[in-house]
């Protein structure tokens, strides 16, 4: 039977609340995810929380009941609490019905199967958690092999990034690497590195893509460093017909990913 916690002073509540802070997440190697949809996506992807917090009212939803049973049957702990504590854990007044505490996970570069998909997403020094979450959703939508985060990107396990991913965090493999690690790995096997850049005349619609294609998106404000662009097999740009000089990084990645998907399907 699930135990009950109703005191804000409870040690576990304080510990879980601290996971909203990057320092504590890194120390504990745990992160928060909330909402029936996201946690159900996680369960279907084989990821279960160590702790699952829910309210008595929320537990009556069939998806919540299934989550509670699965967590308890697989060694996790389901904990009944109240809306006030759920709000404290999530940091939102209108807290979701469930909050889960998951162990962090990433995939080492050398364990990625580059033959798993014709499309791979690569982001360099991405700073906005909303952009990261949206790129993960794009990766899920186009069946990308994974997302490789290069250099000092925003934490993919931050509450904001997890929310923005809408569950794709659990369905798209994530790897993290320095540029000097990524390039030798990429060149050790098949793979075309395509950079999104304003420093080219090549339109994304006219380019020839080779499978697997690794789509490289740079920092939102600065784009790709010159040395990184020089390493690319191909630089392409999206036409800008209005006043703006560039698209949002996540939007540009999505446009490119669907173009590569269309080409890969002939």
- Helices 129-142 and 249-264 sit at what angle, rounded to 10 degrees? 10
- The confidence band for 243, taking pLDDT boundaries of 50, 70 and 90, is low
Would you say residue 242 has pLDDT above 80? Answer: no
Q: What is the DSSP letter of 244?
A: -
Which tens digits make up the pLDDT trace of 12-25?
999 999 999 999 99
pLDDT tier at 266 (50, 70, 90 boundaries)? Answer: low
- Gap between the Cα atoms of 55 and 247, Å rounded: 42
What confidence category does residue 239 fall into, taking pLDDT thresholds of 50, 70 and 90?
Answer: confident
Confidence at residue 210, expressed as pLDDT on a 0 to 100 scale: 94
167 vs 38, 43, 119, 164, 211, CA distance in Å?
4, 10, 20, 8, 27
Token pair belonging to 7: 């005191």
Asked if pLDDT for residue 245 goes beyond 60, the answer is: no
Q: In the prediction, which pLDDT does 198 show?
A: 83
Residues 6+ apart with CB under 8 A from 67: 36, 39, 40, 43, 52, 54, 78, 98, 100
Torsion sign over Cα 143, 234, 187, 231:
negative
Torsion of CA 258, 263, 264, 266, to 10 degrees: 130
For the stretch 179-206, pLDDT in tens is: 999 999 999 999 999 999 888 888 889 8
Record the pTM: 0.92
Residue 71 backbone dihedrals phi, psi, to 5 degrees: -60, -50
Domains of the chain: 3-103 (3.30.1330.30), 109-264 (3.40.1280.10)
The sign one gets for the Cα dihedral 229, 252, 37, 23 is: positive
pLDDT tens, position by position, 61-98? 999 999 999 999 999 999 999 999 999 898 777 777 89
The confidence score (pLDDT) of residue 40 equals: 95
pLDDT, mean of residues 234-240: 85
């Amino acid at each position: 039977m699930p135990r009950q916690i109703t005191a804000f002073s409870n040690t576990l509540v304080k510990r879980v609340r601290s996971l909203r802070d990057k320092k504590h997440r890194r120390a504990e190697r745990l992160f928060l995810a909330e909402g029936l949809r996201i946690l159900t996506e996680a369960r279907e992807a084989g990821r279960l929380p160590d702790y699952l917090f829910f309210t008595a009212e929320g537990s009556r939803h069939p998806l919540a009941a299934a989550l509670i049973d699965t967590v308890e049957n697989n060694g996790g702990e389901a904990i009944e609490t109240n809306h006030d504590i759920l709000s404290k854990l999530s940091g939102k007044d209108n807290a979701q019905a469930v909050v889960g505490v998951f162990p962090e996970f990433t995939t080492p570069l050398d364990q990625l199967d580059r033959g798993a998909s014709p499309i791979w997403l690569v982001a360099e020094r991405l700073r906005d958690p909303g952009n990261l979450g949206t790129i993960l959703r794009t990766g899920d939508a186009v069946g990308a092999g994974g997302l490789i985060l290069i250099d000092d990107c925003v934490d993919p396990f931050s509450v904001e990034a997890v929310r923005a991913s809408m569950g794709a965090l659990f369905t798209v493999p994530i790897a993290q690497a320095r540029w000097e690690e990524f390039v030798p790995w990429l060149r050790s096997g098949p793979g075309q590195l395509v950079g999104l850049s304003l420093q080219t005349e090549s339109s994304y619609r006219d380019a020839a893509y080779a499978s697997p294609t690794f789509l490289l998106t740079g920092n939102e404000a600065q784009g790709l460093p010159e040395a990184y662009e020089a390493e690319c097999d191909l630089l392409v740009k999206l036409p800008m017909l209005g006043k703006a000089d560039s698209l949002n990084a996540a939007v540009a990645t999505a446009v490119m990913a669907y173009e590569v998907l269309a080409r890969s399907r002939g």
